[in-house]
Amino acid sequence: MNMQVKPLVIGGILVALGVLIPAVFHLIGVGGTIFLPMHIPVLFAGVILGPGLAALVGFLCPVLSHLLTGMPPVSPMPILPLMVVELAAYGAAMGYLSHRARSNIWVALVGAMILGRIALGLAAAVIAPLFNVSLQPLTYVQGAVVSGLPGIVLQLLLIPPVAQRFFLSRGWKEAGRLQSGL
C-alpha cells in the first residue's frame, strides 16, 4: 500500500472504531462516561499516526458518532463540542509525546490524559456560556475523571501492551522505545 495512503486508511479504521465501540457500549447499556470507549481509538491513533492525524481522528469520532447515533448530545448539555476539543487534544498530545518528544508509552499516555482533561476544562469554560449552560469547568473535569475512572484504568491496561504488540508485529523500530518502561 502507498505509504501516504496507509496512515489515512489506518485513521479511517480508527474513526470507524471510535464510532462503533461506543455504539456497542450504549447498546449493551454500559455508559460511555464510565468506560470512555471513544477515547481508546483516539489514543491509539496518537501512538500509530502522530499528532496531526490523531487530532483529526479525535475530532471526527464524536462528530460522526453524533451524526450517526445522536451521541454525544449537543443539548441540553453541549457534550459534543466538549468531546471534540477533548479528543482532538488527546490525539494531538499522545501523538506529540510518543512521536516528537519520543516519550515511552506510559509517559505519553498519562501526559495525554492530563493534557486532554486540561483541554476539556478550557473548552467547558468557553463553551458553557455560548450554550447558556451553568457549568463550572473544574467541577466538570473532576466529575469526568471520577466517573471515568474505570475507563482510565482500562486505557492504562490496554493501550501500552496493544501498542507494543502492534509495533512488534510490524518489526518497527519504535517497539524498543515503547517497551522502555513496560
The CATH number linked to 46 is 1.10.1760.20
Report CA torsion sign: 59, 61, 64, 69.
negative
Q: Is residue 120 part of a domain?
A: yes
Which of 107, 112, 122 has the alpha carbon at shortest distance from 87?
A: 112
For the entire predicted model, the pTM comes to 0.91
Q: Is residue 153 part of a domain?
A: yes
Q: Is residue 105 part of a domain?
A: yes
Compute CA distances 32 → 35, 144, 151, 152, whole Å: 5, 11, 9, 12
Q: Is residue 155 part of a domain?
A: yes
Q: Is residue 1 part of a domain?
A: no
CA 169 to chain centre: 23
Confidence at residue 32, expressed as pLDDT on a 0 to 100 scale: 84
Confidence at residue 100, expressed as pLDDT on a 0 to 100 scale: 85
**CA distance from start to end of the chain:** 31
The count of domains in the chain is: 1
Confidence at residue 14, expressed as pLDDT on a 0 to 100 scale: 98
Confidence at residue 178, expressed as pLDDT on a 0 to 100 scale: 54
Q: Which amino acid is at 114?
A: I
Confidence at residue 103, expressed as pLDDT on a 0 to 100 scale: 82
Q: Which domain holds residue 57?
A: 6-179
Confidence at residue 171, expressed as pLDDT on a 0 to 100 scale: 65
Contact 157, 149 (CB under 8 A): no
Q: Is residue 144 part of a domain?
A: yes
Q: Is residue 158 part of a domain?
A: yes
Low-confidence ranges of the chain (pLDDT < 50): 176, 180-182
Q: Is 175 helix (H, G, I), strand (E, B) or coil?
A: helix
Q: Is residue 160 part of a domain?
A: yes
Confidence at residue 146, expressed as pLDDT on a 0 to 100 scale: 97
